[in-house]
Structure formats: C-alpha cells, structure tokens
Amino acid sequence: MAEWTHLNAQGRARMVDISEKEPTRRTAVARAVVRMRRETLRNILEGRVEKGDVLAVAQVAGVMAAKRTPDLIPMCHPIPLAKVDLRFREVEDRPGNGWSELEVESEVSTVASTGVEMEALTAASVAALTVYDMCKAADRGMEVVSVGLIRKTGGKSGDYRRWPEEGDAP
C-alpha cells in the first residue's frame, strides 16, 4: 500500500473545524452598491419599473440568498441563522456624471461557532443582482460597483468596523 502521497497537498481546500469553538452571538453587516442611470433609480423608487416592485423582490431574494450561502460558497459552514434583514437607500448623485447609486445593506445574525460575514455578503450581492435583472432591459450600463463588509461583531477576533470614518455607515 502506497504512502499517503498528499496528491492534493497544494490544493487542500477544506471546511475548517469549528467543533471546539463555543457558539456565541455574531452579526455581520455588508453592503452592495449598484450604479445606474439616474432615470432608472427614479423609476425604481417610484415603482415604475415594468417588471414589478424591484426593491420588494430584491429584498426577498437577498433574504433567501443568505440562507443558500453554504450551497454557494464551498468552504462555508452550514449554520442556523437567527435574523436576516436588508434595506435600501439612494446614495447622493455624484454631480456631473449622470449616474445614480442604489445601496443595498444586509444584516445577518446567528448564535453559532462561526460568523455570518459570507451570508451578509451573499445577501447583498444577490439583492444587487436582482435589481440589475429587473432593470437591465431599460439600462444596459448598470454595474455593481462595490460589495464589501461594513462591520461584524462576535467571535474571537473581536468586533470589526470598516470605514469608521464614513459617517453614513450605519
């Protein structure tokens, strides 16, 4: 019988062991920003998109996507989720460039042995893509211009807040 030849040693992708970690309450807040034509954002906010209430659909999509995260991100642990919420706001128009931005913010909580950063990022990403899907027939130039973590709490690495300087970060 041959030695364990570590055939895959350099490619060792695994779901790391969290069985020795205590379950604690953890939260994560993430956001995604969709850049679009000013008129597109107006239509979304005023409910004039032919395909329906874009934000209502995006909110449901985001909540459901949070629950699908371990099906999508290969090394992500399947854990119960205690809360998922999303909210949307218009980001102030950047004058002169003709673009507007819609910000999607997601918040996820759990009581578990690992955090929910990926769940929050997945929720925000999928909500942003849903906005894109429902408006793409009218606005071909849309782009998701940012997906990132805002803050998280709980876990051994302690609380983390990104962009603390941004007063508008919730």
Which of 47, 94, 98, 159 is in the footprint of a second copy by CB under 8 A?
A: 47
Which of 28, 142, 151, 155 is in the footprint of a second copy by CB under 8 A?
A: 142
Cβ within 8 Å of residue 57, ≥6 positions away: 130, 134
Does the footprint of a second copy cover residue 126 (CB under 8 A)?
Answer: yes
Does the footprint of a second copy cover residue 136 (CB under 8 A)?
Answer: yes
Which of 28, 36, 43, 110 is in the footprint of a second copy by CB under 8 A?
A: 110
Residues 151-170 that bind a second copy (CB under 8 A): 160, 162, 166-168, 170
Catalytic residue positions?
A: 133
Nearest distance, CB of residue 163 and a second copy, angstroms: 10
Residue found under tokens 């950063």: 117
Instruction: Show the DSSP H helices in 31-94 as ranges.
Output: 38-45, 54-72
Which of 38, 39, 42, 52 is in the footprint of a second copy by CB under 8 A?
A: 52
Does the footprint of a second copy cover residue 132 (CB under 8 A)?
Answer: yes
Nearest distance, CB of residue 153 and a second copy, angstroms: 11
Does the footprint of a second copy cover residue 87 (CB under 8 A)?
Answer: yes
Cβ within 8 Å of residue 148, ≥6 positions away: 30, 31, 121, 162
Euclidean distance between the first and the last CA atom of the chain, given in angstroms as a whole number: 59
CA distances from 115 to 26, 30, 78 (A): 6, 13, 11
Nearest distance, CB of residue 76 and a second copy, angstroms: 6
Which three-class secondary structure state does DSSP give residue 58? Answer: helix
Nearest distance, CB of residue 98 and a second copy, angstroms: 16
Do 160 and 99 touch, CB atoms closer than 8 A? no
